[in-house]
Structure 1
Amino acid sequence: MADLPPLREVIARHGLSASKALGQNFLLDAQLLDRITAVPGDLHDRAVLEIGPGPGGLTRALLKAGARVTAIEMDRRCLPALAELEIAFPGRLRVIEGDAMKLDHDAIMGEPYAAVANLPYNVGTALFTGWLSAEEWPPRWTSLTLMFQQEVAQRIVAQPGTDAYGRLAVLTQWRSTARLAMKVHRSAFTPSPKVMSAIVHLEPAAMPDGVSPRVLERVTEAAFGQRRKMLRQSLKGIPGALGTLEALAIDPQRRAETLSVAEFVAVARELS
């Protein structure tokens, strides 16, 4: 690492700038990046998937921590900077040019892996829900350590009865244990975004038997799509839902934000 030029110098030399269209915001603070890579624990010789490495700030920190990194980048402008890291860390970094939304991450990795990423803001939630919505469980990933806008991070770890509690919290907490690991001030990024960010860390949990992700998604979409209405109104469009509430002794006059994750899962199990 001592032989690598400063990241700012690399960015200037390659004429890089963060693309708003790609949801990019570059992290340059080496100490902060080291703190992020410490969140998932010891990464020595672990396979790590990184999405959207940009000029390679987080990639450097992951390699410094001893990880074997596969980085998916769709911005061709960043590939020469990442190629320099491939040379500096022979056999430890593999860069794949492509759209992470369209690639099979499990097939690319070929082994259990941790995902660590400063996700592009414009696709972060979609990538995240994709990891959590797979029919097969447990997943190939062993942990997810991901940067989100702070508002999204709070929705992921939200508890029932709070304004942030919704579909994302139910999906996340059904299949994983999640915690907000650290907040990141917007001044840490180049350019500085208008919002604060946060790191969320997840580890997969055992999947309850007999529950379809698609059914759970349909139930939560209906319930939280009209979250100020009683369940008897918001769920009436789902065949069997009102009878399921009665069978489970869930008061149909309750609103979606009052139901626990376990109650949503119980409803989805009956409908599945």
Structure 2
Amino acid sequence: MSRIDDLPPLREVIRAHGLDARKSLGQNFLLDLNLTSRIARAAAPLDACTVVEIGPGPGGLTRALLAAGAGRVIAIEKDRRCLPALAEIADRYPGRLTVVEGDALEIDAATLAAGEPVKIVANLPYNVGTQLLINWITTPGWPPFWSSLTLMFQREVAERIVAAPGDKAYGRLGVLAGWRTQARILFDISPQAFTPPPKVTSAVVQLVPRVEPLPCSLKALERVTAAAFGQRRKMLRASLKTLDPQAERLIEEAGLIPTARAEEIDIAGFVALAERFAGGRLM
């Protein structure tokens, strides 16, 4: 695929605007049009929703989303140097691209979409990607304001998101993601597809919210998983004793074995644990 629109090639855009990728901003620009278009197709259909993109940089994925028929794209960009390049895309697609300057960690994307159906699609900056995901899947209200997340992470982080009990990567992130969403890795992206090339392989993950997650106190689940996986080599009766001196009894009441370790407990087990430990103490 050589062109998706009549705008200049991304390398020319980067050169014209002096957009050297900055490590401090977690930037690695994806320039391969085949890959940006593949990500856009993975999030389809896009015509009946607002797409929120985080960290568009020079706009490679932004252009792919618009070319794929996104009705409206809201791009949140922290790096002011990228704004002129994004303005050129906005001019090419009148009324379909809104650029918001700011830090995605501090901006409530739900308010930007004004009640419209939302899909979040992004090549997330490596330095804030995990925190953004946690923010989106631990929103107090459920179902969330978004109908899907199609996101790029380091492969190691992607494996943690989709990990199951017994997997080496299974931990707090996998429990939270699996509790509220159905998550899967769609495909990998080689370091050579980026400028500059990162040292690791990346992967695109898609998460779709579960309509009815198992009933549970979010705060309790976060605290129980943090304690359990914070000392993952210890048995539950030891790692959870920091939350309640009666940990062993509460673990048994949840239908679990006190001598089990965190990586052996499935999501339903952690939900049962959180509900037992809540009991007015973790709420």
2:207 pairs with 1:170 = no
1:55 match: 58
Residue 242 of structure 1: aligned partner: 248
- The answer (yes or no) to whether the contact 2:155–2:200 under 8 Å persists in 1 is yes
Instruction: Give the Cα–Cα distance (whole angstroms) in 2 for the partners of residues 128 and 28 of structure 1.
Output: 24
For structure 2, list consecutive stretches of 5 or more residues without a partner in the other structure.
279-283
Output the CA distance in 2 between the equivalents of 1:2 and 1:210: 47
The separation in 2 between residues aligned to 1:117 and 1:178, in whole angstroms, is 16
1:203-242 correspondence to structure 2 within 5 Å: 203-208=208-213, 210-239=215-244, 240-242=246-248
Q: Distance in 2 between matches of 1:259 and 1:62?
A: 39
TM alignment of 1:85-100, pairs within 5 A: 85-100=89-104
Question: How many percent of aligned residue pairs carry the same amino acid?
Answer: 58
Aligned equivalents of 1:39, 1:128: Cα separation in 2: 18
Task: Give the residue type in structure 1 aligned to 2:201.
Answer: M
1:69 equivalent among 70, 73, 77: 73
Q: Which runs of 4+ in 1 moved over 3 A?
A: 207-210
Distance 1:188 1:208 in 2: 37
How high is the TM-score relative to the length of structure 1? 0.97
Q: Deviations over 1:165-200 (max 9, x none)?
A: 000000000000000011111111000001110000
> Equivalent residue for 1:119?
124
| 2:158 alignment partner, one of 135, 153, 158 | 153
Q: Please, what TM-score do these two structures have when normalized by structure 2? A: 0.94
Gaps of 5+ in 1: none
Q: CA deviation at 1:249?
A: 2.5
Range 233-242 or range 54-63, more displaced:
233-242
3-state SS of 2:25 partner: coil
Instruction: Please say if residues 76 and 103 of structure 2, whose CA atoms lie closer than 8 Å, have aligned partners that are also in contact.
Output: yes
Alpha-carbon distance in 2 for matches of 1:262, 1:255? 15
> Contact (CA 8 Å) 1:119, 1:148: kept in 2 or not?
yes
Secondary structure at 1:42 match in 2: coil
1:2 aligns with 2:8: no
SS at 1:134 equivalent: coil
SS in 2 for 1:267: helix
Query: Cα RMSD (Å) of the superposition?
Result: 1.1
The 8 Å contact of residues 134 and 213 in structure 1, kept in 2 or not, is answered as no
Deviation at 1:210, TM superposition (A): 4.2
Equivalent-residue separation in structure 1 for 2:211 and 2:249 (angstroms): 28
Distance in 1 (CA, whole Å) between partners of 2:52 and 2:215 is 30
**Cα distance in structure 2, aligned partners of 1:210 and 1:162:** 25
2:5 and 2:67 in contact (8 A); partners too: no
2:113 aligned with 1:109, yes or no? yes
Distance 2:68 2:49 in 1: 10
Q: How many residues align?
A: 272
AA partner of residue 214 (structure 1): K
Aligned equivalents of 1:7 and 1:135: distance in 2? 39
SS of alignment partner, residue 155 of structure 1: helix
Q: Which amino acid aligns with 1:260?
A: D
Secondary structure (helix, strand or coil) at the match of 2:183 reads strand
Q: What is the Cα deviation at residue 244 of structure 1? A: 2.0
Partner of 1:39: 42
Query: Residue 120 of structure 2 aligns to a residue in which SS?
Result: strand
